[in-house]
Amino acid sequence: MKRPLSKPFTPYYRGRFAPSPSGPLHYGSLVTAVASYLQARCNRGLWQLRIEDIDPPREQKGAVRDILSSLRAFGFDWDGSVLYQSHRLAYYRHIAEQLHKHHLAFYCECSRKQLMKSPETRLGRLYEGKCRKLGLPSLTGHTLRMRVDKEHIKFNDGVFGVQSYDLLTDSGDYIVYRGDQLPSYTLAVSLDDLQQGYTELVRGADLLHLSARQLHLMQQFNRQLPQLLHIPIITDANGQKLSKQHYATALDTRHSSFLLYCALKDLGQEPPKYLCYRSINYIWNWAYSHWRVSSIAPEMSIKQGF
Ligand code: GLU
């Protein structure tokens, strides 16, 4: 596959696409993959693939294979080998222990039920700090929470502009390691994104509200933080997010040109109609020379356009 040559060479861009294998690739994830791929390739950067497979109950057998073969059918080519979060569980655990050792995190015995009864929780602060000073040990059933004080997190999203969060009221002491001995989504994603040195994270706007805690966690490691760029999520006609949990239909790769055309359209790129009838390679080459982030609508969601 040809890559665009017209832009100046900026070797520092590193991007990724990080699907969870809870089902086959659906149209919503295709749109995210297209946006992150075009951002990477049009910046002459790297694009990697990470499989977020650390939540076994939500995984579907064969989903990884389906996702990879759909991506290939749509003409995506990723750099290096695919990264699997499930291969990094010992590392996540080690970092969680370090956070505890350095008093940045504490163990908590509160059950979800207890927390729901707390007046603080009802006021919108998700954790009132009950276990902060108890010095609880690491035991199955105990969650590990980051200690959050009055922290103000501000960042400039590539689509949504300046975002500003008061972490104490937005998330409170958030979980980094779960009681069932698995890393939280926030811990795994933040560590991977930092360690792989991604310069920009392109992903669905449903994750925008989690960005503040991810940036907060990343700040603890003294590394360059990535830029963030959130794109609208795709909903069905009833306004329901297309997701594997809601049985969004798998992509029919026999219609890959049409679906790729639709993805570009939903990303505000105004592709000409005739592209539907062209090859995948032709459409990618059109996209390379027309890609404009500023054309993406700064909306949380948009309805699937077909
Ligand atoms: N695994 C997440 C998903 O499938 C994406 C995580 C991310 O891009 O940060 O929605």
In angstroms, what is the span from residue 202 Cα to ligand 1's centroid?
9
Q: How far is residue 98's CA from residue 106's CA, in Å, rounded to a whole number? A: 11
167 lines ligand 1 (CB under 6 A): no
Question: Which pLDDT value is given to residue 238?
Answer: 75
210 lines ligand 1 (CB under 6 A): no
The tens digit of pLDDT for each residue in 16-36 reads 999 999 989 999 999 999 999
Q: For the chain, how long is the longest CA-to-CA vector?
A: 65
Residue 245's pLDDT band, with cuts at 50, 70 and 90, is low
Stretch 269-273: mean pLDDT: 96
Q: Is the dihedral of CA 248, 250, 255, 260 positive or negative?
A: positive
279 pLDDT more than 50: yes
Q: Which of 43-47, 128-132, 164-168 has the lowest mean pLDDT?
A: 128-132
Highest mean pLDDT among 80-89, 124-133, 234-243, 247-256: 80-89
Question: Is the separation of the CB atoms in 182 and 55 below 8 Å?
Answer: yes
Residue 237's pLDDT band, with cuts at 50, 70 and 90, is confident
Give residue 100's identity as a one-letter amino acid code: H
Strand order in the sheet with 175-177: 105-108, 143-146, 175-177
Question: Which pLDDT value is given to residue 130?
Answer: 83
- Domains (range + CATH), the chain: 14-86+196-208+221-303 (3.40.50.620), 89-186 (3.40.50.620)
243 lines ligand 1 (CB under 6 A): no
What residues does 143 pair with on adjacent strands? 108
What separation in angstroms does the CA of 244 have from each of 29, 63, 189, 228, 306? 10, 10, 19, 24, 19
20 lines ligand 1 (CB under 6 A): yes
Q: How far is residue 88's CA from residue 198's CA, in Å, rounded to a whole number? A: 17
52 lines ligand 1 (CB under 6 A): yes
DSSP 200-238: EEEEEGGGGGGHHHHHHHHHTTTSPPPEEEEEPEEE-TT
Question: Is the separation of the CB atoms in 51 and 16 below 8 Å?
Answer: no
In angstroms, what is the span from residue 22 Cα to ligand 1's centroid?
11
What residues does 144 pair with on adjacent strands? 107, 177
Question: Is the separation of the CB atoms in 127 and 133 below 8 Å?
Answer: no
The tens digit of pLDDT for each residue in 54-63 reads 988 888 889 9
Cα–Cα nearest to 227, from 9, 14, 8: 14
Task: Scan for tokens 């276990």, then name that residue.
Answer: 131
228 lines ligand 1 (CB under 6 A): no
Question: Which pLDDT value is given to residue 244?
Answer: 57
Which of 17, 70, 82, 189 is the best mutation target for the ligand 1 pocket, counting ligand atoms within 8 Å of the beta carbon and taking the most? Answer: 189
In angstroms, what is the span from residue 210 Cα to ligand 1's centroid?
11
Question: How high does pLDDT run on average in the chain?
Answer: 89
Which of 52, 64, 194 is the best mutation target for the ligand 1 pocket, counting ligand atoms within 8 Å of the beta carbon and taking the most? Answer: 52
In angstroms, what is the span from residue 304 Cα to ligand 1's centroid?
19
Question: Which pLDDT value is given to residue 124?
Answer: 55
Q: How far is residue 147's CA from residue 132's CA, in Å, rounded to a whole number? A: 8
Tokens linked to 163: 């975002």
Which protein residue has the closest C-alpha to ligand 1 atom 6?
18
In angstroms, what is the span from residue 18 Cα to ligand 1's centroid?
5
In angstroms, what is the span from residue 51 Cα to ligand 1's centroid?
9
